[in-house]
Structure formats: C-alpha cells, structure tokens
Amino acid sequence: MIPKPKSLTMKRLTTVKSDSVKNGMKKAERVTRKCVACGDIRPKSELFRIVRNREGEITVDLSGRADGRGAYLCRNVDCMRKAVSSRALNRSFKCEIDKELIENLFSELMK
C-alpha cells in the first residue's frame, strides 16, 4: 500500500465547508411566499398579505405579523382579479367570502 500524501487530505478537508458559511459570515436568506392567484414564488416584501383572524374577520395585514391564517397576493391588478374569479381566497381561508368584501379589500390595497 502506498500512503496518501498529507496535502491531498488537507485539501479535501478544506473543500468540505459549505458556501453559505464562508469566512465566518452567513448569507442572508430571502423569505419567499407563493401567490394564491398566479402561483408565482416571490420575496415576501413583494406580496400583500390578507389575514383571517380567529373571529373570522378578513383584513389586509400591511405589517406581515398579524395573528391568523394568511394568504399572499402579488401587487398587481391581474392577480387580484384572478383571485376573485378562481375563488383562491375562499380556498386559502377554507370559508366562503363575499365578493363585496374582497372588492373592499382590493380597493384598500390600491390606495
């Protein structure tokens, strides 16, 4: 048997480090969410969050931290229209939502 040179084993050990922890610094991860209307996965900052709280009230959550079940929508009119026509918010919240309430939410978002 021929012994392996130490330089090869040292090189192998140094390449095992992951790319996310180079030089002792972690990469910042971008939080992503999926639009319920179009299905695009985007950064959370590019989406609106609509929330149904424990009392059953449906509101727009601009902070992104309100308690309750949330659904995310892209910030364009086409996705909002598609959410109404495909009943995507009804599926997300597992309850029936009036179209008037959805239209009021969308008009609030467009301000």
pLDDT tens-digit readout, 36-53: 999 999 999 999 999 999
Could you report how far apart the first and last alpha carbons of the chain are, in Å? 76
The model carries a pTM of 0.71
What is the C-alpha to C-alpha distance for residues 47 and 92, in angstroms, rounded to an integer?
Answer: 15
Q: Which domains does the chain have, with CATH numbers?
A: 30-109 (3.30.1230.10)
What count of other Cβ atoms lies within 10 Å of the Cβ of residue 55? 6
Identify residue 25 by its one-letter amino acid code: M
- Give Cβ neighbours of residue 91 (< 8 Å, ≥ 6 apart): 36
pLDDT tens-digit readout, 57-107: 999 998 999 999 999 999 999 999 999 999 999 999 999 999 899 889 888
Q: What pLDDT sits at residue 45? A: 92
What is the C-alpha to C-alpha distance for residues 94 and 38, in angstroms, rounded to an integer?
Answer: 18
